[in-house]
Structure formats: C-alpha cells, structure tokens
Structure 1
Amino acid sequence: MLELVFITPLIGIFVILITPRDNIARLWRRALDWSLLTLTMTILLWASFDGEGNLQGMMKLKWISSIEPIFGAAPIAIDGISLFFIILTALLTPICILISWNSIRFLIKEFLLCLLFMEVLLIGVFSIFDIVGFYILFEGVLIPMFLIIGIWGSREEKIQAAYYFFFYTFIGSVFMLLAIFTLYSHAGSTDYQALCSLTLEKELQYFIFLGFFLSLAIKIPKMPFHIWLPQAHVEAPVAGSVILAGVLLKLGGYGFIRFSWPLLPDASEYFAPLIQTLSLLAVIYGSLTTCRQVDLKRIIAYSSVAHMGLVTLGLFSHTAQGLVGAVFLMLGHGLVSSALFIGVTLLYERFHTRLVRYYRGVAVTMPLFATLLLILVLANASIPLSSNFIGEFLSLLAAFEYSVIEGVLASLGVVLSAGYSIYLYNRVCFGAPSKYLYFFRDLNRREFYTLVPLILLIFLMGVFPFSVIDVVKGSIIYQEWVSV
C-alpha cells in the first residue's frame, strides 16, 4: 500500500505534464482528482496499519546502485508517527488546489506541478529511514516552495521573502550534513535502524546534536531563528502558506523525534534545559509579539512560533506524554493554522488588504464566514474538544512534570493565545461595518467545502483523540526500546 501512496502523485505529475497548457479547467480538475486519489490511498494505508509500534510496509528504494554498500538501498517504511504526517500532507494538497482555483492566474501548469512534486517529497521525508535520503528530501522541499513564494507570491517583496526562506533553511541544513558525515564515519552506514543501535561517546553526541539542532530549529522555527517565517507567510500565496504552516514547520519537530532520542539520548538530555528555555521564550515572546501585529497573516505566523514552542517544550521534557502531546499538537496546529490562513486569504481576495484597521463588522455582511472564523479562532485558543486542546494539555502536563516553574510560565502562552485570538476576531467581525469595505460577498460553495473538512477534523481529533494517541504512543514505546 505504501508504494501506491508514492506512485499515485507521480502518475498525477505525468498526467499534468501531458495535459495541454491552454486547457486550464482540465488542468485543475486532473490535479484535484489525483490529489484526492492520493488522499484515498493514505486513508487505506491507515486502515491497513495494524496499530503496533514497529515499522511497517518496509521496502528498499535502490536509488544510487553504483555505491549501494553506502546508501544505495534506502529503506522506506511507516510507523505511527510518520503515518499521520503523511495523511496530513495528502489532505492539505487537494485543499491547496481548491483554494487556489481562482487566485492563480498564470503559469497554472507549473504551479500544479510544484504542488504535486512537493507532495511526493514530503511523503518521502516522512517515510524514508536513511539519514542521507532524509537530508536530500528534506532539502528538496525547498525548491518547489521557493518557486511558489517567488513566482506566485502576492506582493512585490515576494522575491526577497523567497530568498529569506531558502537561504535561512539551506544554510542551517549544512550543519545537519556535517553531522550526518560524522555519524557515517563512526557507523559505516546511513541506515536509520543500524544507527539506533550505535553507541557514541557523549562529547561526540554533543557535536552531532548541535548540527541537527541548528537545522531543525530553523525549520520549526525556534527563537531566535524565526525571522524568515513571517516574511515568507505574508508574501506566499494561500497554497504556500497552507503547506508551509501545515506541513513544512512540522519537519523540524519530526526530525527531533527521529534523531534526538533514538540516536543521541545523552546529548538530548544535556541540551534539554537550553532548549526548554528557548521554548519558553518562544511561547511568551511569540504570543506577546502576536498581540501587537496589524497584518492578518503576520498574526497567524507569529502565533505559529508560540505554538511550536509548546511542541519542543513537550518533546524535550523526555516523557511519553510530552512526546505524544507534541505530535498531537503538531497535527492539530497543521489543521488550525492552515484553515486560518485560508480564512484571512478569503478576506484579502475580497477587499485587497490584510491590515486589521480596515476591517470591522464582517459578521453583519458575511455571517457564514464569521461563524467559521469564530470556530477556528476558538480552536486556535485551544478550547476543549478541539485538537489543539489535547496537544497543549499533554505538553503542559509534561512541562509541569519537568518543572513547576516551567509549567506555570508555559501556561501563560495559553492565556495569551486566547487574548490575541479573541481580540483579532473582535476587531474583524464585530461592530458597525467598516466604511473602507465594499462589495461584501459571503463564502461560495468551493470556499465553504475547503474550510469545513478542516473544521470537522479539528473537532473529531479533539473528541476522539485516542484514535491518534494509541498509534503514536505505540511507536514512541517501540522507538525507546530500539534506542536502548
């Protein structure tokens, strides 16, 4: 089943390539059909998953046969952690196609190819168990996202934002490459399972961990490596913002789960206080900075910095509930932030401004949109029964177990998130209709069907969390056993 998940978007890419450029409607329909088929394959993959923690669907990808003794046969497999990130990727791709249907007006064929190619790379990142293969796919994602921001961005600063995104993340990944070379020089292999059984000296672990940390911290992003994120979000088209917030920011957290505990346990324990401190700064500083933003996209971008701070807080608490909470929060944040970016883009498409000062009284003229936005704002503030509530609750529980002071400080992020979320909704939707806004139009069917699946999943995960938690917990227990 895993090979079908890979093959389906590749066939979709081929179909788009042979589709005439001038037949725009057919291009959109075929891209949507193949992305929905990929989503179907991922759901069937979940149905075939037996719920155990071990790797499943193992197959060998022979990609550099001339040097196969080194890394010529990269293992491809899934576990309970990678499974849900693959499903999240497959879910957001057709949503990106739907929401971009009328907003992308040139080079449509190239845009759809970038989306499907990025989907293939992301599925590969979450399923490959070879560190060189992971690095290549991890960096390969930069190319289509760089093109999406730089070509189809919304404003004149899009080129600068694209280079910000590319160089910040690429330069950080050089340190990861050095760490991978060091691991290979001591293990003689790049196979992930072989490296899990390797015992390294503490000083060497510290050096390797710093290499991985610099790369993954930029990707999350952590303070003070977050400068590129608001600029990239503001300039990216809606599809770029959705993929960036929904999946790409999760690559950092996923990398920490894969490499910190199983490969470098002593270094993870040694650097935990530093990372916990940076996480607390991200939660508090990110939330306070969000409160003073005036651009709708920047508000959501800085709130992502705060939420991802809670993710690393849970990860480096070194408890099972912290790891489960971090994974759950990443999945929930991927849904909530993606839906919020879609919502603010729908406003921008109607009124051509993202400045909050020009909005007021949207609930009077766009009641359907205002209702859905209220649900998303409350989910972003982690109300009970939402996916964010489960993830933040488990992460804060792990923080309190690590240190009571840390737990109290981290809890400020929950209070502040409720403050800036409700304050944003109050400014945009309540009051008399703004004199600056004309030609109000509520959501059409395409826009409504784009947002509703995300909202349903947000609350399905909150009401039935153990459908995800049990699978993730099994993989975490297995991963800890492997690293012993």
Structure 2
Amino acid sequence: MGLLSLAIWTPIFFGAVLLALGRDEHVRAVRWVALIGAIVSLLVTLPLYSGFDNATAAMQFVEKAPWIERFNVHYHLGLDGISFWFVPLTAFITVIVVIAGWEAITSRVNQYMGAFLILSGLMIGVFSALDGLLFYVFFEATLIPMYLIIGIWGGPNKIYAAFKFFLYTLLGSLLLLIALIYLYVHSGGSFDIQTWHDLPLPRTAQTLLFFGFFAAFAVKVPMWPVHTWLPDVHVEAPTGGSAVLAAIMLKLGAYGFLRFSMPIAPDAAHEWAWLMVALSLIAVIYVGLVAMVQQDMKKLVAYSSVAHMGFVTLGFFIFNDLGVSGGLVQMIAHGFVSGAMFLCIGVLYDRVHSREIAAYGGVVNTMPKFAAFALLFAMANCGLPGTAGFVGEWMVILGAVKANFWIGLASATALIFGAAYTLWMFKRVYLGPVANDHVKELEDINAREFLMLALLAIAVLAMGIYPKPFTDVMDVSVAELLKHVAVSKLN
C-alpha cells in the first residue's frame, strides 16, 4: 500500500471503527478516536510533500493495480502539481472539523465523526484518481456522507436542503458518466485519464464532452446560474458540514475542469471560454451584490463562496500561467478562509442559536479574543494583502489583465463588493455597543475553540506572507497543462 492509498483509506478505516462503536454510550472515547484518526490521517499526507519533485509535471506516487479486469478498470492513483495540495488540505480541514464538533454534537456522535472521516478519504480519492471510473466512484460516493451530515444534524429544513443538494449534484453527474463511457469506447476500452488527454476528437464530440463535464463540475463549483442549492444547504448544514462543503467539496468541481474539460476537449474549451468567463464574471459581480443584502450570516458567506469560486473558473479559462496558478492558489486559500468564516459563525450559533445579523452587535465587548480572529478572517475574505485571500485573487486579476484589460478591470472592481459585504457584516455583528442581553451574556472562546481558530489563522497568514511553497509545487504542471491545451486535438 503506497502513500496515496494510506491517505485515502486511513480516514475511511477510522470512520468505519467509529461507526462500529456504540451510539452514545462511549461519547468520550468516540471523540478521542475521531481526533486520533483525523491527526493520523493528516500525518500520513506529510511525507507526500517531502517526497514530491517540483521539477517534473509527471504523475508521482503512482499506484496501479487491476480492479475490474473484464472492463480494463484499474485502481490507479497519482498526484501532480495541480492535485497535490488538495490532499493535505482535506486532511487538515478534517482535523479542524473534528475539533469544532467536539462539544457542539451531542447525539449520534460516532456517526457524525465517522461520516466526516469517511468523507475525507473519499475526497482525497477524487483528487488522486487517474482512472476515469475510479474517479467517478469517489466523486459520487462523496455525496452519501454529506447527504447524511445535512439530513441528520442539519437545521429545521434539513431534509429539503439534503434532497436539493443530492438531486442537483446527481443529475449533473449522470451526464459526466455518459461522457466517461463515450471516452472509454472511443479510446478502445481504456479508462486511463492520461490516455484520454491524447485522444484526437472531432469538434462536435469535444463540444458535447465539454458540456457533459460542465453539467457535473459547474454544479459542484457552483457556477452561476446553478448555484442556488448552495445557500440553502449552507444554512441548514451543521457547522462542520458547512466548513467541509466550502473548504473542500466545492473544489472537486473546479479540479474536474483542469483534469477533464480542458485537457480532453481543448478546442471546445477555447471555443467556449467566452461563456465560462462570462459566467465567472456574473458570479463575481452579481452574486457579490446578492451577498450584500443577506440578513443571515451563513447565507452571506455562502454567496461569498460562489463569488470567490468565480475567480477560480475565471483564472482557468483565460489560459495563461498566472490565471491557472492563481485559480489553484485561490482554491486552497478559499479552503482556509471560508472554512474559518463558517466555523466563526458556528461559535456564535452555539451560544446564541441564531445566525441572523440583527441578533448581534457589540460582540467585541464580550468576546475580544474571538473578535480578533473573526477580524483576521474577515480581512482575508476581503483579499487583504498579507493574508491567503489576497494571493490567488491578485494572480487571477493580473492574468486577466494580461489576457484582456476589460476582463481584468471587471474582476478587480468586484473586490470592492467583497470588502463591502464582509466589513458590513463584521461592523454590525462585532462593533459598537452591546446590542442585547444575549450578547451581554456571551463568554469568550475556550481553549478548544482557540486552538481550532489559531490553526486556521496560522494557515491564512503563512499562505498570505509566503505563498512560494504552494506556487512552486504547481508551476511545472500548470505550464505542461497549458502547453497541452494549446495543441489542437481535432482529427
């Protein structure tokens, strides 16, 4: 078993152990097993960084074994510079989520923790899979634990939100499956994704494949106008569910564009780039305006996620190194920042049981330590230089200006909206005099919450001040992808 298999199956194993433990009889033991499992799963991913060679675009840590031999399906794993950082990011966010749910979850604790650990392994599988069918199995399997997390531990309309999440993402994925079967047949019976990258495909086939992939990946990102499931799901999901959804699950769709849409159908990607850029700019500008009028903190941050992910898809489809690398950096940064924003909302919700902005005011007076963390994450969400939120957006804007000045200008002006809705929310929730008795009775964060937020704060600042380790890993792979996409595959 190689390092990638360990990264995938270690959290799944611990998740299965948790499910086997008694429901609520051994809560203390369950929490510690979950934490140990999450930390071990993170430690398993660390040797990947020390063993990764930045100088090559080839797949590394490759594992390949026959799986369904009759159909030439393989258990085939590998990482390159594009997928690398999402493996440790997933494991890191899982540790944070386990710490976040330590006291907040009191019923079916083993199932809650087990679902997150299993979800973590499945998401790492998506980023590691080099076999089309294996990718699809992991991609779809992630829906199951997240559906249960929303449907069991969610808010009052949890069943509606869980069904909406499941149906939106499943319907798009059915077109992805048809595209994968077409590629399997056209390639002479191979599910190898890298083999598909070199297939000479006619223009019509490329266009159909591109939109088949688009149906699955755009919903997952989510791009405008198929983003409407996200605010409902975020509002109803428990805090940990929102954090993982925003930090990792949205990235599965964006990653799919780089692994499937662009290299397999490069001519269609170039032909329809104008549509992708237009939809991305609508997400960045229009959804940013929608975020300004939200009264629910979770909805505001949910719409903010759609706007930030618009920068990602914009960066990918301007086809230059700054844009694509910036999109990838933005995905990682958004994982830290949006996860932190949702966890901050969870800290307040656990105390007041309201997500309405109007229910707060003057929180800084009673929770000064917590307000300091919240300010840092709010500034990162605005894209303040020196925080993780700045690096990716700045790179995408530079790449957009390089491609087309007006696209760059439109994306840059959208940062004003991001600052407006984030700072407006911060002002109304945290600043000013104490607004009511609920706020007056608030207690500052305890040691567990401090640890959770401090880990995220370190990640946000480290990436903002010194992003070189992140960009160095992806540079060669991004350059190779752009070189590949620039060559026509028309036969």
2:472 corresponds to which residue? 470
Measured after TM superposition, the shift of residue 37 of structure 1 is 0.7
- Which of 31, 34, 42 aligns to 2:34? It is 31
Q: Distance in 1 between matches of 2:133 and 2:328?
A: 24
Q: Distance in 2 between matches of 1:99 and 1:439?
A: 21
Q: Distance in 1 between matches of 2:172 and 2:6?
A: 33
TM-score normalized by structure 2?
Answer: 0.95
1:187 corresponds to which residue? 187
Whether the aligned pair in 1 keeps the contact of 2:298 and 2:345 (CA below 8 Å) is: yes
2:80 corresponds to which residue? 79
1:245-264 superposed matches below 5 A: 245-264=246-265
- Which of 456, 459, 473 aligns to 1:457? It is 459
Measured after TM superposition, the shift of residue 385 of structure 1 is 1.1
1:189-208 superposed matches below 5 A: 189-208=190-209
1:167 corresponds to which residue? 167
1:62 corresponds to which residue? 66
Measured after TM superposition, the shift of residue 64 of structure 1 is 2.1
Q: Distance in 2 between matches of 1:319 and 1:482?
A: 12
Q: Distance in 2 between matches of 1:335 and 1:451?
A: 10
Q: Distance in 2 between matches of 1:87 and 1:392?
A: 22
Say yes or no: does 1:43 pair with 2:46.
Answer: yes
Whether the aligned pair in 2 keeps the contact of 1:54 and 1:478 (CA below 8 Å) is: no
Whether the aligned pair in 2 keeps the contact of 1:71 and 1:132 (CA below 8 Å) is: no
SS of corresponding position for 2:78: strand
Say yes or no: does 1:240 pair with 2:244.
Answer: no
Q: Distance in 1 between matches of 2:67 and 2:121?
A: 15
Distance 1:246 1:223, change over 3 A: same
The alignment covers a number of residue pairs equal to 480
Q: Distance in 1 between matches of 2:194 and 2:279?
A: 30
Measured after TM superposition, the shift of residue 17 of structure 1 is 4.0
In structure 1, list runs of 5 or more residues that go unmatched: none
The alignment-based identity, stated in percent, is 39
Measured after TM superposition, the shift of residue 240 of structure 1 is 0.5
2:415 corresponds to which residue? 414
Aligned-partner residue type, residue 300 of structure 2: I
Q: Distance in 2 between matches of 1:310 and 1:259?
A: 19
Q: Distance in 1 between matches of 2:8 and 2:278?
A: 39
1:208-357 superposed matches below 5 A: 208-357=209-358
Measured after TM superposition, the shift of residue 117 of structure 1 is 1.0
Measured after TM superposition, the shift of residue 412 of structure 1 is 1.8
SS of corresponding position for 1:63: strand
Whether the aligned pair in 1 keeps the contact of 2:4 and 2:128 (CA below 8 Å) is: no
Q: Distance in 2 between matches of 1:150 and 1:2?
A: 30
Measured after TM superposition, the shift of residue 260 of structure 1 is 2.3
In structure 2, list runs of 5 or more residues that go unmatched: none
Q: Deviations over 1:253-299 (max 9, x none)?
A: 10001112211110100000011011111111111011100001001
Q: Distance in 1 between matches of 2:59 and 2:17?
A: 32
Distance 1:276 1:74, change over 3 A: same
Measured after TM superposition, the shift of residue 48 of structure 1 is 1.3
Q: Deviations over 1:77-126 (max 9, x none)?
A: 11122111011110011111110111111111111221111111111100
Whether the aligned pair in 1 keeps the contact of 2:391 and 2:464 (CA below 8 Å) is: yes
Q: Distance in 2 between matches of 1:223 and 1:71?
A: 37
Measured after TM superposition, the shift of residue 18 of structure 1 is 4.3
Distance 1:220 1:333, change over 3 A: same
SS of corresponding position for 1:230: helix
Aligned-partner residue type, residue 36 of structure 1: I
SS of corresponding position for 1:432: coil
Distance 1:61 1:166, change over 3 A: farther
Q: Distance in 2 between matches of 1:76 and 1:402?
A: 34
Moved more, 33-42 or 470-479: 470-479
Q: Distance in 2 between matches of 1:93 and 1:74?
A: 24
- Which of 426, 442, 445 aligns to 2:444? It is 442
TM-score normalized by structure 1?
Answer: 0.97
Whether the aligned pair in 1 keeps the contact of 2:10 and 2:121 (CA below 8 Å) is: no
Q: Distance in 2 between matches of 1:81 and 1:33?
A: 29
Measured after TM superposition, the shift of residue 482 of structure 1 is 5.5
Whether the aligned pair in 2 keeps the contact of 1:61 and 1:76 (CA below 8 Å) is: no
Measured after TM superposition, the shift of residue 224 of structure 1 is 0.4
Q: Distance in 1 between matches of 2:9 and 2:182?
A: 33
Measured after TM superposition, the shift of residue 423 of structure 1 is 0.9
2:433 corresponds to which residue? 432
Aligned-partner residue type, residue 30 of structure 1: V
Measured after TM superposition, the shift of residue 135 of structure 1 is 1.3
